[in-house]
């Protein structure tokens, strides 16, 4: 059984295929198979109500319950929380496009569930639980694929939706995350590229090529994260791949000065762009 699971990592299934192959029902975000002693977890990134957010290698997965405060004693939440002692295998799927369930593999809880505040189905604020999940196998590969998916997804967001996501991430990050790897904020990087609007912020040339009709630029931390630079908008610029290589290989102080100033301007452009969004 598990061998056949492993072969499917990275593959995408329709909802019907998923329920046939993994022997679970065809609705709900958490689906139990008693027969296989598995719990299928579906992180649907298109759904506004449940927010499932990756921080580095940890997925904060929102528990079950659409109305009022969530409870850890409720149905699948209880199974998820006690998966280890119950011997339940947790299998993760992610959804970015309609009816496309991408199988990520087996996950486990990396810590206790944490409380968060989110809106319920009636738009009332309520308590939810976020389960920190990590992939057991192939985490690195998945992470790379995931970064591309995320970029594609975020590029479709309006400024306002992107800002809401940024605030949500920031919130969770400030409260719960201690990071020892360099976490890069994909959302901020999308913002800084919007601000640059296709023009390299160092050489001022237009991006050298397009990907999916979007001019290709890269985001760069002016003070590198490895030198204690911050992952914030006033330390981020969008530059062309040539300039990016240059910044990492040639440490020209004029370039550095220019980009430090550009990053400060980026901060003001960002504030202007999100003005009025709550
Ligand atoms: Zn350039
Ligand atoms: Zn860089």
Question: What's the CA-to-centroid distance between 214 and ligand 1, angstroms?
Answer: 16
Look at residue 183 in the predicted model and tell me its pLDDT.
52
pLDDT at 140: 45
Distance from residue 232's CA to the centre of ligand 2 (Å): 14
User: Which band of pLDDT confidence, cut at 50, 70 and 90, is reported for residue 137?
Assistant: low
The partner residues of 58 in beta bridges, in order of sequence, read 55, 134
Structure tokens of 77? Answer: 């939440």
Helix or strand run (H / E) with residue 273: helix 253-273
The pLDDT value recorded for residue 273 is: 94
Centre of ligand 2 from the C-alpha of residue 245, in Å? 8
Distance 166 CA to ligand 1 centre (A): 27
Strands (E), 98-254: 100-109, 114-119, 125-135, 210-211, 214-215, 218-221, 236-239
Helix pair angle (186-196, 253-273), 10° resolution: 100
Mean pLDDT of 233-250: 92
Nearest ligand, CA 248:
2
pLDDT digit string, tens, across residues 11-49: 889 999 999 999 999 988 999 999 999 999 999 988 766
Task: For the beta carbon of residue 81, count every other beta carbon within 10 angstroms.
Answer: 19
pLDDT in tens, 219-230: 999 998 777 788
* Domains with residue ranges and CATH for the chain: 2-156 (2.30.280.20), 186-273 (1.10.30)
Of the bound ligands, which one is closest to the alpha carbon of residue 215? 1
- Dump pLDDT digits (tens) for 244-267: 989 988 889 999 999 999 999 999
Ligand 2 centre to CA of 160 (Å) is 26
Which ligand has an atom closest to residue 255 CA? 1
pLDDT higher than threshold 50 for residue 139? no
| Interval between CA 206 and ligand 1 midpoint (Å) | 8
Average pLDDT, the chain: 85
> Which ligand is nearest the CA of 239, by number?
1
Ligand nearest to the CA of 225: 2
Which ligand is closest in space to the CA of residue 219?
2
Mean pLDDT of 97-108: 89
Residue 55 CA to ligand 2 centre (angstroms): 20
Q: How far is the CA of 84 from the centre of ligand 2 (A)?
A: 40
């Amino acid at each position: 059984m598990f061998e056949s699971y492993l072969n499917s990592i990275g593959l995408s299934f329709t909802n019907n295929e998923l329920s046939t192959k993994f022997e679970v029902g065809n609705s709900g975000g958490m689906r139990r198979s008693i027969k296989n002693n598995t719990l299928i977890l579906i992180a649907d990134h298109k759904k506004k109500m449940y927010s499932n957010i990756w921080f580095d290698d940890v997925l904060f997965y929102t528990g079950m319950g659409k109305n009022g405060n969530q409870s850890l004693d409720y149905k699948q939440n209880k199974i998820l929380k006690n998966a280890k002692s119950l011997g339940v295998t947790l299998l993760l799927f992610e959804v970015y496009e309609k009816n496309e369930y991408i199988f990520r593999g087996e996950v486990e809880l990396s810590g206790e569930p944490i409380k968060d505040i989110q809106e319920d189905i009636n738009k009332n604020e309520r308590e939810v639980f976020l389960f920190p999940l990590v992939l057991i196998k192939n985490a690195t590969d998945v992470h790379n694929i995931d970064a591309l998916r995320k970029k594609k997804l975020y590029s479709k967001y309006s400024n306002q939706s992107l800002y809401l996501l940024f605030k949500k991430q920031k919130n969770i990050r400030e409260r719960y995350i201690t990071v020892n790897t360099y976490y890069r904020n994909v959302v901020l990087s999308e913002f800084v590229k919007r601000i640059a609007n296709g023009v390299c912020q160092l050489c001022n040339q237009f991006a050298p090529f397009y990907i999916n009709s979007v001019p290709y630029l890269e985001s760069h931390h002016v003070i590198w994260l490895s030198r204690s630079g911050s992952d914030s908008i006033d330390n981020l610029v969008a530059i062309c791949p040539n300039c990016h290589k240059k910044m990492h290989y040639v440490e020209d102080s004029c370039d550095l000065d220019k980009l430090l100033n550009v990053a400060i301007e980026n901060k003001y452009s960002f504030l202007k762009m999100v003005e009025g969004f709550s």
